[in-house]
Chain A
Amino acid sequence: MNVRQALHIFRKDVRYLWREICLVQFLVAVFVWTETHSQDPWWIEMLLPVTMGYLIARLIHAEAVPGDRQFWITRPYGWKNLLGAKLLFMLVFVNLAISIAQMLILFAGGFPLGHSLPGLLWSQVLMILILSLPIAALAAMTAGMVPFIFSTLILLAIAYGGEQMLLMSRRLPLQKTLEWPAGVEWVRHYIAIIAIAAIVLPILYMQYKKRQTLLSRTFAVGGAALGLVAYVCMPWPFAFAVQSRISKQPFDGSSLRIALDPSFTKFFPEPRLEQVEVDLSIAVSGVPGGSDLQADALTAIFQGPDGRAWKSGSFDFSNSSKNSHGVFTLRGTGLMDPIFFNEERGKPITLKSSLYLTLFGNARAKTVALQDTPVNVMDGLQCYSDIMGDVLCRSAFRWPNLMVSASVGGANPNVFTRFISYSPFPASMHLNPIETRLALASTLSTHDVTIIVSEPLAHFRRDVEVRGVRLVDFPGGK
């Protein structure tokens, strides 16, 4: 690669696109201002990526790849130099600009920059893979802004249509296979990111080295279709298996005692969905002392004596509690086919279920006097109370993969959210570098709040089989 030539092309592009560069930098400045002064600067978070996409497309089209009339294709351009110049431009005027903006926002928010550095770098990696390179690849397959915008609109329409189909499918029995436990959804996202990279990088290579636009377009359409099918059809137990493999400590859960808890298990028809809602309550004992347990997902198969079976998707776990004897009660909600329910409810059936659990431990706590301005607590968390007395915590680049709870005045701790991502990566894909969560705790009586964090130590699956279950024995079962 000839660095001098790459820099020469880069300088030319800066000269050519100075107006667009100024526009993006102005919007970046507005972004910083709104993020540090406004509660909900959603419009700038929408506008900025669009403008950056426009800048990248204009940049690529300055030496358009498709076509046979461009002056540059018969000049001594080295393809690596040209591509290098374009990438350098994107790094400087998109990624560096956003990095500086995010640093300013974090600095204004009082976050320690050293702690935020991995997140800062990783968010730029994500931005390159999710925003810059796909737009560059699309622009490299189009000859000008009109076909680029047209292609973008088609892609957006396909994405919107796909999302609507997914939403519609949630009314179907298929629904639960499409919904993923929040903790492991990052696996699917990162596989999608890898798929995007596996599509756009060869396209950029093919376009800049060989200018094989037809081949690139075919590859893009085929790759995107395959990726979409894989994304939709990927089973979440696979992601959970991945998550188990990268657990911090080995724990297979065999020491746990798991039983169906009849006290909260019940059935009731859900006419709107033409299904029967099943509330399953599962009691788990034998959890190691000092640890906490969370259910990420449960799948269940109800099998009648004649072999007829009803297989559920995953259950939503919205509630779990622990009694004074250290027994955890996990409550999940799922759906059952009403025909199966009506025909089998009086018969002894077998419940085969798979529980996907996470063991939390290494809890740490710190008590702080919360004010209306955020204070650094620990693990990159800043906490404060708003004018309503609610406890809020925030962190840089992503909510940490920790269970965070707040205890006000020694009361039972309230978790900020059960929907935490177990992703080991230090950032998620958001322009706004600060993620804020609210706990159901009030500081109206006292400002002393104890923030407790515990780490996810092990992710594991337990298969349970309960024989002789009669649905009529449970509330709603008759």
Chain B
Amino acid sequence: MSSALSTHELLKQFRNVPVLDGLNLDVPEASVFGLIGPNGAGKTTAIKILMNILKASSGRAEVLGADSRQLGPSEFDRIGYVSENQEMPEWMTVEYFLAYLKPFYSTWDDGRAEELIRQFNLPRNRKLRHLSRGMWMKAALASSLAYRPRLLVLDEPFSGLDPLVREDLIEGLVESAGETTIFISSHDLADIESFASHIGYLDRGRLQFSEEMASLTARFREIEVTVEPPAILPADRQWPANWLRPEATHALVRFVETRFDAERTSGEIRRLFDRVQQVSVNPMPLRAIFVTLARNAPKAA
């Protein structure tokens, strides 16, 4: 599968402080790629370099096959970009904003624009400055979906929005997924989980891992082992590196398996623990995976 976005050893420093430290990223076409990571991980910086808003200190990035430093009108004709802190022409009404943008795009679809206005319940004659945060974000998204871009880049689009608005936005995105590659950075993991096909985890400027959502959720499991008391954790050197956040209570050992394989994991458990009474294997939501990774960043990938 070809890439919609890719970066190669991307480095960005602000006053000699590295924000991106050799980022290698590959976003397949037609995917919904969620870039997650703690605050200050470099997500917004990476996106701004990809959108040719910032210059990288070194390394390179490609967007739809073009060098990101060369992105110009012909590339932006096929790219949508929405950011939570974008400055919009707030004096424009929603209707005029869309009408103004229309001639810039060769693939602008009036029908799609109308549909988005209705779907997002946007007030046509209200100025952007008078919209609520949720409506503002919907208008921004509508203005980027109406020309059916090949690539849609969203930087923290759900930040500070109420659940209903998030749901509306996700609905709009899901409808476009398939024809559009969606690259989204967000802290709202539950929202991403609902529609992302790929996940990348960025921490301290480095991509800790990047994989398909199905594979990620398949390999992360929270395991609870009930043993005869007292439960004792084996010595560090015996503890598998891919078992994170171990904790032991009276008769229970709990940990996160990051490379779950039913047969292999079961064998490991029986090797390390005597008198195993019960093993409980629980799938993990993305939020729990994220917390596990964030707290064990060096080992996680």
Contact = CB atoms under 8 A, between A and B. Distances in A.
Nearest to B79: A74
A399 to B, nearest CB: 46
B188 interface: no
B86 A75 contact: no
A77 B104 contact: yes
Contacts of B280: none
B103 A74 contact: no
B220 interface: no
Interface in A66-89: 67-71, 73-78
Given A8-B103, A12-B100, A74 B87 contact: no
Contacts of B54: 68
A329 B74 CA distance: 73
Contact of A75 (B76, B91, B96): B76
A62 B89 contact: yes
Contacts of B85: 69
A69 B82 CA distance: 10
Interface in B70-101: 72-74, 76-77, 79, 81, 83, 85-89, 91, 96, 100-101
B51 interface: yes
A6 to B, nearest CB: 11
B178 to A, nearest CB: 22
A75 B104 contact: yes
A33 interface: no
A212 to B, nearest CB: 9
Contact of A70 (B87, B101, B105): B87
Contacts of B89: 16, 62, 71
A5 interface: yes
Contacts of B53: 68, 73-74
A387 to B, nearest CB: 53
Given A68-B48, A68-B53, A74 B81 contact: yes
Given A5-B104, A12-B100, A71 B76 contact: no
A16 B76 CA distance: 24
B87 A67 contact: yes
B104 A69 contact: no
Contacts of A73: 53
Given A69-B83, A71-B87, A76 B104 contact: yes
6 contacts: A69-B83, A70-B86, A73-B53, A74-B53, A74-B76, A76-B76
A-B complex: 4 closest residue pairs judged by Cβ atoms = A76-B73, A74-B81, A76-B76, A69-B87
Given A12-B100, A74-B53, 13 more contacts: A8-B104, A16-B89, A16-B91, A62-B89, A67-B87, A68-B48, A68-B53, A69-B87, A70-B86, A75-B101, A75-B104, A76-B76, A76-B105
